A and B are shown apart, each in its own frame.
Chain A
Amino acid sequence: MSAPKTGEDSRLDQFLAFSAEVTAFGVVALQGTGQAEAYLRTVDGVVGTALVDELLGLHAGAPRAAGNEGGAARGVHLRRTIFGDGRLGPVARNIVKLWYSGVWYELPAAWTESYGPAPKDVTFVVSPSSYVEGLLWTAIGAHPAGAKAPGYGSWAGPPRIPRFAGDRLSPPAAEPVDGAVDAERVPA
């Protein structure tokens, strides 16, 4: 694999910035899946780089959030320009699903009817590792069946749900649960 050129690099950064905002996972966690390049390639391959550039450009140009009001304004802006858009919205939602499940889902029939044929637009798993690295497992405090086993006896402890950006500190259910299996409860 050749090293990305500077231009491509910043495009990946833009894709990560968009993905972080729409998945509620941080950029480090997203890079930590090792799937960023493969997902960007996947989206490019199905809908074309021009559409992806447009989406990422709109995201990069959205007003910066400052305080609660700014955040709300940014949310409205992103909904109107990207998620509410007939052409970009389904692709944006597919990127969220891609990160969470490692699967590209076939776009709605209405999308291909309106915006033209996308021959590679079929439902497919990006790669064996994308299944393993799906964010959904982390989000629900579980692990993919048959991979990334959490260790013998770990099921004795409660699932660990990470705290997401924007989570309230309460209710207690949203608190991250401490790492260890309760040491004292392990049977002798």
Chain B
Amino acid sequence: MPSSKITTVSELKNYLYLAMQLEHATLPAYLTALYSIKPGTNTDAVHILRVVAVEEMLHLTIAANLLNAIGGTPDLTRPGFVPSYPTYLPDGETDFTVGILRFGKEAVETFKKIERPSKGDGRLVRRSYAAGTSVLGRHPESDEMHFYSIGDFYKAIADGFELLEAEAQGLGRTIFTGDPKRQVTSEYYYSGGGTLFAVTDLESAKRAITLVMTQGEGTESSIYDGDDELSHYYRFDQLTHGRYYQKGDEPHHPTGPALTVDWEASYPIAANVKLANFPAGTELSDAARSFNQAYAKFLKTITRAYDGKPELLLAAVPLMFDFRNLITELVRNPLPDSAGCNAAPTFEIDAVTAAEALAAAREEVVA
């Protein structure tokens, strides 16, 4: 029976890989919704989605720092790193799916669930899924056991750091054996809330985990996080209420300036579309494939950045603008035989990686 208690460094590394997967998994959903918004409309929503997406990238980088701090090797190119959408996330006793959807009420409700404050007691729950289903927040050694909530998942990680470091210190050692040069710090990262710092000891590790948790959910006593920034859940909640929060507000009762949302002003993209839904051999399926290749290249570049070359995060910036342009092109094109829906990015990254590996292997055989 798997336990939620982490007892070895190698287990902790597995958890941190899953944390990176989890932090990343929100990006395709947030970015697609963001870029599905019609130009010139929904400026408040554009701003909110952009801020949250940038902070999710920060969380991804923080998870990489945590993994590097204990001598792990982040790898965003491993098969299954990018889930197949819709993917499942824990939500107390039950779960919900995160999909690739157009901006609208359904998408915002999902985003609020992703960022919702957790109320678990750190336990695992058993949930069964069909084979091949992507599930986030599961136990690294069991496909069936899942954390009650994302907060509980991070709580297990924080406890693991504490326990393992105390054990190591007792033996005159430390678990923070990673090369500090592999840490990504703020000189390579900009334009987001929260700051990036090196994880080199228990104190900085705990600070990093707290930042990830409170930027999403807020602190126990406030809708704001430790840096006085409104948490992601309440940022999205502003769209539901059509009003901004301000300091002193109670949850669900924003009293700041009004904002406007035009729920219909997004391109009507087909939900969770796959390459198989595109007519083969067309310019449109080429465009969908180009997007997956560009995204795979982006993940490859940031993997190298997290693998000892933090300066490569700067090279990843233009790659993000590239795939943004490819997404906006896709969402404006009608998808044939989809009842009037438009095309969308498919995020089928494993297929790209597999094809590239095959091509590289062939080349080796020829050489």
Contact = CB atoms under 8 A, between A and B. Distances in A.
Contacts of A152: 190, 314, 317
A146 interface: no
A180 B301 contact: yes
Nearest to B322: A179
Contacts of B332: 31-34
B159 interface: no
A28 B286 CA distance: 10
Interface string B288-302: 000000100100010
B320 to A, nearest CB: 6
B297 A179 contact: yes
A74 B312 CA distance: 49
Interface residues of B, number: 30
Contacts of B129: none
Nearest to A33: B332
Given A28-B333, A29-B329, A183-B304, A150 B340 contact: no
Contacts of B284: 28
Interface in A134-176: 148-154, 157
B287 A28 contact: yes
A150 B321 CA distance: 6
A55 B40 CA distance: 32
B321 A128 contact: no
Given A27-B283, A28-B287, A149 B321 contact: yes
Given A28-B284, A33-B332, A34-B332, A188 B321 contact: no
B130 to A, nearest CB: 34
Nearest to A35: B332
Contacts of A3: 340
A10 interface: no
Given A179-B294, A180-B297, A180-B301, A31 B333 contact: yes
A128 B40 CA distance: 9
A31 B38 CA distance: 14
A181 B332 CA distance: 27
A67 interface: no
17 contacts: A28-B283, A28-B333, A31-B333, A32-B328, A32-B329, A34-B38, A129-B40, A149-B321, A153-B318, A154-B317, A154-B318, A179-B297, A179-B322, A180-B297, A180-B301, A180-B319, A182-B315
Interface of A: 3, 26-29, 31-34, 128-129, 132, 148-154, 157, 179-183, 186-188
Given A26-B283, A132-B39, A154-B318, 14 more contacts: A28-B284, A32-B328, A128-B40, A129-B39, A148-B325, A150-B321, A150-B322, A151-B317, A153-B318, A179-B294, A180-B297, A180-B301, A181-B315, A183-B315
